[in-house]
Amino acid sequence: MDAGDMGTDLKEVLISEERLRQRVTELAARIDADYAGRDLLLVGVLKGAIMVMADLARAMHLPIQMDWMAVSSYGSGTQSSGVVRILKDLDTDISGRDVLVVEDIIDSGLTLSWLLSNLQSRGPASLEVCALLRKPDAAKVSIDVKYVGFDIANEFVVGYGLDYAEKYRNLPFVGTLAPHVYGG
């Protein structure tokens, strides 16, 4: 799928495929340096983090382990419901482990704040966050994010794992969704 396949559903390409690849490679190099000699577990947050987690892991040189969690607070809408549910929990015991949570996007921060509290209660040696995208203007809680790919405006974005009603995840870029699609 590319921009032409979206027709009028795409407002604009915000971050190109090339720029995404470049930034993920830069983040991987920083993480490699920061975690050299340590046993790192990447925890991807499904489904949106699939693309960034896969590309980040491939760009890294450390021997890493990966696990996945699925949490929900959105349903098929565009705004968080405020109620967080674990849909898929970790298969790995994180007690005493260095854990890096990989997120596609931080919007209000409410879901991630809940997730970090949940993971912290499991006794990791360290717990940090890597987010491809962050919307500073949408933040409702302050979260310390060690690795940020891009700060973006408070617009509805899709592509590179991000979706609207489970569509558009397979775009190789991040784009803004035209308001007529979601009634915005």
Q: Which residues are catalytic?
A: 107
Q: How far is CA 22 from CA 13, 88, 132, 162, 173, in A?
A: 16, 31, 12, 18, 12
Assess contact for 56 and 130: CB atoms under 8 A: yes
CA distances from 173 to 12, 17, 21, 35 (A): 10, 5, 10, 28
Tokens of 27: 């983040």
**Long-range contacts, stretch 3-7, CB < 8 angstroms, 24+ apart:** 3/171, 3/173, 3/175, 6/168, 6/171, 6/175
What's the DSSP call for residue 136? G
- Angle subtended by helix axes 17-34 and 50-59, to nearest 10: 60
In angstroms, the CA 176 to CA 102 distance is 22
